[in-house]
Amino acid sequence: MTTSNATWTEAAVQVAGLRVQYLEAGAGASTPLLVLHRSTGNPGWLPFHQELSGGGRTVVPDLPGYGQSERPDWAREPRDLAILLHRALDHIGLDRVSVVGLGFGGWVAAEMAVLQQQRFERLVLVGAPGIRPDEGEILDQMMMAFEVYVRACFADQSAFEAEFGEQPDAATRELWDFSREMTARLTWKPYMWDWRLPYLLAEVQTPTLLVWGDEDGVVPRSVGRQYRDALPEARLEVVEGAGHMVEVERPSELAALVRAFVA
């Protein structure tokens, strides 16, 4: 089944007996963009997605177990989602993409590159966990009220309130709680990193852009430097005045970085 509005189209594919839902918009001869959402879930079609889709086809799935995609009860680590997403791309007919991974979605994107790097023309990781920080700690979303965690993702609290209101509505809170349950299954022990990943990234030759907000209070910038050192073809860009959710606080700036890198 496919639905659409004036901006984007919604569709789904079946993968390993599970429904994987996605949004998409844009067209053209350029390599399609795959955008993977954060551990807070897919909030829908954002201004950031719209800016990206102006440059070509942009596909934004609900990760398996999040949003409208069915939950793989057997999944126990981000690599399981990476396997399912590769199969989803097969069914969608996307043999070659560039991928943008936001937060936890960046970790999943890194795992996808480890599994099948030849599919990726470019890789963009935005505030991605997945590597144990050698300085600082990754903020533990399981140990606090989730609104407190999401507020910590913003450098500017007025940006949080512009996006979610002073008090997020019931549907938003439900999305966050549902997403956190799946995130706990996948990332709890060890929390938000995998000791194998840095070693495997050394084999990934895909050109990679790492983007961190200069006020990211969730994933330390040291992790960005560790990704840069682990990946043979990587560089790190810092966005001033942004926290962890760069795509919400600085959507145009991040979209411009992505478009310039994948062009």
DSSP codes of every residue in 127-156: S--BS--SSS----GGGS-HHHHHHHT-S-
Sheet hosting strand 3-4, strand order edge to edge? 3-4, 9-15, 18-25, 58-61, 33-36, 97-102, 120-126, 208-213, 234-239
Provide the residue-wise pLDDT of the chain in tens; the chain has 263 residues: 455 566 899 999 999 999 999 999 999 878 999 999 999 999 999 999 999 999 999 999 999 999 999 999 999 999 999 999 999 999 999 999 999 999 999 999 999 999 999 999 999 999 999 999 999 999 999 999 999 999 999 999 999 999 999 999 999 999 999 999 999 999 998 999 999 999 999 999 999 999 999 999 999 999 999 999 999 999 999 999 999 999 999 999 999 999 999 98
Instruction: Specify the pLDDT at position 4.
Output: 55
Instruction: Specify the pLDDT at position 1.
Output: 45
For the chain, count helices (H), then strands (E): 10, 9
Q: Are 86 and 116 in contact (CB under 8 A)?
A: yes
| Dihedral (CA of 41, 69, 183, 259) sign | negative
Query: What are the Cα distances from residue 235, in Å, to 96, 211, 228, 252?
Result: 22, 9, 6, 20
Of the candidates 131, 34, 102, 49, the one whose C-alpha atom is nearest the C-alpha of residue 244 is 102
pTM metric for this prediction: 0.96
Q: Are 12 and 19 in contact (CB under 8 A)?
A: yes
Q: Is 99 helix (H, G, I), strand (E, B) or coil?
A: strand
Q: Are 36 and 106 in contact (CB under 8 A)?
A: yes
Phi-psi bin for 121: left (phi > 0), alpha (psi -120 to 50), beta?
alpha
The single residue listed with the structure tokens 């997605």 is: 49
How far apart CA 217 and CA 219 sit, in angstroms, is 6
> In the chain, where are the structural domains located?
3-262
Instruction: Specify the pLDDT at position 7.
Output: 85
Instruction: Specify the pLDDT at position 29.
Output: 78
Superfamily of domain 3-262: Alpha/Beta hydrolase fold, catalytic domain (3.40.50.1820)
